[in-house]
Chain A
């Protein structure tokens, strides 16, 4: 589903190279965890996958279902089924949450040549998904992410994910700022989306989240490259011994 080949990318503004020859393959149905110390390029990778314009790809390619997505902008990638759950969901005063959800769902449907949702159908879907994630209706009446607590913001991200039904879900540090109860709700939401035709990339600093969203593969990112890949036991190894050994072995 996702194939990243010898990817090099830099910050557009100052030319700093962050991703330096990254290779990664994620198959449909797979949950892949990307781990790595601070500054290894984890968040940058999530932004590049979703098409943020602050970064420039200088070499290599990203294939999604066999096609390069480098020429697509963020909205086209989203409509094709790539979803980024933000580490820091963005507050937008003046945009009502419900209006935003409706526009996002319908714009994606339009792009794919599907009919827009009727208002009752839209309401039904939101109500159902919100209940699953224990999101109060009052929260949905506020402007987008404005005045949401950290946990509420993360739950709102998962709500969007479950409504948009993407094919490739990228979760950027979704566990940061969550207490254990919120973590379980969020993990349940992600696990409910696991399916043979969907892939999930979980970017995380700590192993904790992986107790709840159990990965099929684990990849260690360091200085913009995948330096080691393995199964879920690699995450436990990292938790016990830290990154130093692996970094040394790779050097």
Chain B
């Protein structure tokens, strides 16, 4: 591809490049950071947003789907909301700007990501993951807020840490480098929500590192507004015997892409992905996942449950790569979908690329409607059809939430999010 040849920019591409130009001199960063930003925006200007001809964007043609990008609105105001789980430590980011008031719990240090941009320590992390990393590119070019969080070795956090991102209007571009020291144990809730019905455009990248023996539950709960575009990415790197249980729930947004890119770097690492996509209206939601099993004796399981109503479109792409030396890898991926209208649509693309010869890997995908026998059984006991359907849809995803049984308050909160969504859409 000739990156130099200028393309005719779409309205959205123009808006993104203009947003950058308008903020030159104002975007935080030292010389090294500003130079990375320049490169990223230059790539965006010359290559444009990815189309379906780019393999990893085949089902989400961003160039076509992203029709407009709202201008940044410096006057926008957003309120904090209550923590998802009572008792959590809330780290508040409103319209992309972190609020550093309040003390983090013992063993946790938090600093503004703006400081890392200003002193240049953020520069290396701004690199894209590859030519098709449109989210990394947009975010790296425009990021101007976020938090750098470090959980010290041997720290156990009793209460969840909630990174609360509230968006009202305009744009927000945030980044969260988070490190967990050896044997640290924590639950983090990365929560994206919107408080107004206006249109907003959000990109957010979390970059998570787990040292030896760290044990982390990370929840990404996306509840953006009905007109919003949400581009999320989480990158992770698991050290020896580290355990990451990543839980992604999409319950909002108009155009959503959540990418998950991780690797196992230490033997004994274990990764679990659980995803729930609640899709309705005329929305487009894409969860794209890649995992590199890079060393021997690492395990992973992935279960994605999609519930698709109306004219919504869902995409799940999952790719597990097992390196040549990564013997004894055990990886299993499943994507199950309930299609609840004739116009609902889901594309699932599970892939395995295995270069080692002594591994156990598998994947499966199912698509179904509500089970009619189950529906009849509930109705035969007096449960009206609408309620019976809602119970069955809820049951389909509740199974996944129940896996978090050690975190009772969290399970309750997530079940509440799910049933509220279903009451509204079903």
Contacts and interface: CB of A to CB of B under 8 A. Distances in A.
Contacts of A52: 376, 380
Contacts of B399: 93-94
B197 interface: no
B376 A94 contact: no
B338 to A, nearest CB: 12
Contact of A75 (B374, B384, B395, B397): B384
A8 to B, nearest CB: 21
Given A94-B395, A94-B396, A94-B398, A75 B377 contact: no
Interface in B199-231: none
Nearest to B396: A94
A171 interface: no
Interface stretch (A78-86, A195-203, A237-245): A78-86
A1 interface: no
B383 A107 contact: yes
B4 interface: no
Contacts of A100: 378, 381, 391
A54 B372 contact: yes
A188 B105 CA distance: 60
A160 interface: yes
Interface string B363-402: 0000000001110111111111101100110111111001
A78 B395 contact: no
Contacts of B388: 75
A108 B380 CA distance: 11
B374 A92 contact: yes
Nearest to B384: A75
Interface residues of A, number: 30
A188 B133 CA distance: 68
Interface string B97-120: 000000000000000000000000
Contact of B392 (A51, A92, A143, A160): A92
Interface in A88-119: 89-90, 92-95, 100, 103-105, 107-108, 111
A89 B385 CA distance: 18
Q: Which of B374, B381, B387 has the most CB of A within 10 A?
A: B381
Contacts of B377: 86, 89-90, 92
B391 A107 contact: no
A22 interface: no
A226 interface: no
B57 to A, nearest CB: 33
Contacts of A164: 381-382
A171 to B, nearest CB: 13
Interface in A135-149: 143
A47 to B, nearest CB: 8
B374 to A, nearest CB: 5
A177 B388 CA distance: 28
Contacts of B384: 75, 107, 111
Nearest to A108: B382
Contacts of B396: 94
Q: Which of A54, A74, A89, A111 has the most CB of B within 10 A?
A: A74
A95 to B, nearest CB: 5
A103 B391 contact: yes
A171 B402 CA distance: 34
Contacts of B391: 95, 100, 103
A108 to B, nearest CB: 4
Contacts of A95: 391-392, 394-395, 398
Interface string B118-154: 0000000000000000000000000000000000000
A78 B380 CA distance: 6
Contact of B385 (A75, A94, A103, A108): A75
A111 B382 contact: yes
B56 to A, nearest CB: 32
Contacts of B379: 51, 73-75, 78
A90 B373 contact: yes
Interface of A: 50-54, 73-75, 77-79, 83-84, 86, 89-90, 92-95, 100, 103-105, 107-108, 111, 143, 160, 164
17 contacts: A52-B376, A75-B388, A78-B379, A78-B381, A86-B377, A89-B377, A92-B377, A92-B392, A94-B395, A95-B391, A95-B398, A100-B391, A103-B387, A104-B378, A104-B382, A105-B382, A111-B382
Which 8 A-B pairs rank lowest in CB-CB distance, beginning with the nearest?
Answer: A94-B395, A78-B382, A74-B379, A108-B382, A90-B377, A104-B381, A75-B379, A94-B398
Given A90-B377, A94-B399, A95-B394, 11 more contacts: A53-B376, A73-B385, A75-B379, A75-B381, A78-B381, A79-B382, A92-B392, A95-B391, A104-B378, A108-B382, A111-B384
